[in-house]
C-alpha cells in the first residue's frame, strides 16, 4: 500500500444527498419535458396569425424593389 493510498483511505468521508440518486434523474426528465412542452407550444406561430399580416404582405410584395423568393437580391448600380 502506497503512502497516497493510505492518506486517501483515512480522509475518505461520505456525504448525504438530500434526495435519492434516482430523484436527480427524475428531476432532469421533468425539467426537459416542461421545456419541450414550452417549445412545442410555439410551433407554427407565424401561420396562426396570417390573417393579420395578409393585407400588409400584399402591400409589401408590390413595393418598388421588392423581389420574390428565388429571384435573388436586386443588384445595385455600379457594383
Distance CA 63, CA 46 (A): 22
pLDDT on residue 43: 84
pTM of the model: 0.46
Give the CA distances from residue 76 to residues 13, 65, 79, in Å, rounded to whole numbers and listed in that order. Answer: 73, 11, 6
Instruction: Decide if pLDDT at 71 tops 90.
Output: no
Kindly state the average pLDDT of the residues 43-65: 66
pLDDT over 90, % of the chain: 30
Instruction: Name 11's Cβ contacts closer than 8 Å, sequence gap at least 6.
Output: none
Tallying the residues shown for the chain, one arrives at 79
Unique residue bearing C-alpha cell 400584399: 58
Amino acid at each position: 500500500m502506497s503512502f497516497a493510498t493510505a492518506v486517501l483511505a483515512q480522509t475518505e468521508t461520505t456525504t448525504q444527498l438530500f434526495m435519492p440518486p434516482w430523484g436527480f434523474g427524475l428531476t432532469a426528465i421533468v425539467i426537459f419535458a416542461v421545456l419541450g412542452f414550452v417549445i412545442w407550444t410555439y410551433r407554427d406561430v407565424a401561420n396562426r396569425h396570417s390573417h393579420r399580416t395578409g393585407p400588409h404582405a400584399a402591400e409589401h410584395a408590390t413595393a418598388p424593389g421588392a423581389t420574390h423568393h428565388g429571384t435573388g437580391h436586386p443588384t445595385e448600380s455600379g457594383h
